[in-house]
Amino acid sequence: MEQYLDHFMNYLTVERGLAVNTLEAYGRDLTRYLDFLEKHEVAAVADISATHVLGFLGALKNAGLAPRSRARSLVAVRTFHKFMVAEKIAVANPADRIESMRLMQSLPDTLSPREVERLLAAPVEPTPMGLRDRAMLELLYATGLRVSELVGLRLGDVQVLMGCVRTLGKGRKERLVPVGETALSELDVYLREGRPLLGKKAASLHLFLNRSGNGLTRQGFWKIIKRRALQAGIRKNITPHTLRHSFATHLLENGADLRAVQAMLGHADISTTQIYTHVTRERLRRLHEQYHPRG
């Protein structure tokens, strides 16, 4: 069945245009699935039943995989079999009637507005890297971009007159995200005073450059935000996604429309955005417990 997996992965790459990380996750999950089927001597797609899929999920649970990872594997298996049916390789999807696992979604870590201010103010040095870091942090909080979208920005993606940036999200879907005046101002300083010095060694069209003049990587920015958080005295376990979570949470706390936040985050399904409404409700509950006389 490996030939079918290759065919399916090619479909996800070419026709669906999925991101590299998503493709890798599908590949890992389905390779594990096919190994399970081979171990149980299932040699043809037509021979796979719902019992096999349930057995696979049970094996994942016994192996200690978290509910979220098992749910992701079920999605991969269901999508794979749906493709097999569409290609007329199979007549039915054995995973179609298996209910998706209801996950207790863990609330994403966020920063308070005051912590965000401290983080954004951390890069104070007037060096090219300092100007770059300040611009990146401001832009990330102003737009809620994914880190891959942030480091993937090109010079032409910043629309200063329109006050927005153009980015390619998951599935290579393009969207325009508004940028506030503060972030645009920091970007302007970086482009005038910082980037020309970083770009002397290499001709790169990337917006944010490393010391060598090449585009900054996800890992590079990960180190930057960790270092700047430590510099700001923030003890939380901060990742680039923390600012994305904070962006969405702070918008909703201040009355933003859920659909608008969904569009800015680039979520295909609004249920993904709704996790942030849980964050705001959880915050209200904590405030009630803290300040109400009978909380």
Catalogue the active-site residues: 146, 170, 241, 244, 267, 276
CB 97 within 8 A of CB 207: no
Q: Would you state the structure tokens that stand for residue 190, as one six-digit string?
A: 């970086």
E strand spans, 61-161 = 158-159
Comparing CA positions, the residue from 61, 50, 57, 60 lying closest to residue 97 is: 50
* Region of residue 277 (left: phi > 0; alpha: psi -120 to 50; beta: else): alpha
Measure the CA–CA gap between 176 and 174, rounded to whole angstroms.
7
DSSP per-residue string spanning 177-189: EE--HHHHHHHHH
> Phi and psi dihedrals of 293, rounded to 5?
-55, -30
CB 136 within 8 A of CB 150: yes
The alpha carbon of residue 58 and the mean position of all alpha carbons in its chain are separated, in whole angstroms, by 28
Give burial (CB, 10 Å; 0-12/13-18/19+) of 85: middle
> Phi and psi dihedrals of 159, rounded to 5?
-105, 90
User: Which helix (DSSP H) or strand (DSSP E) does residue 95 occupy?
Assistant: none
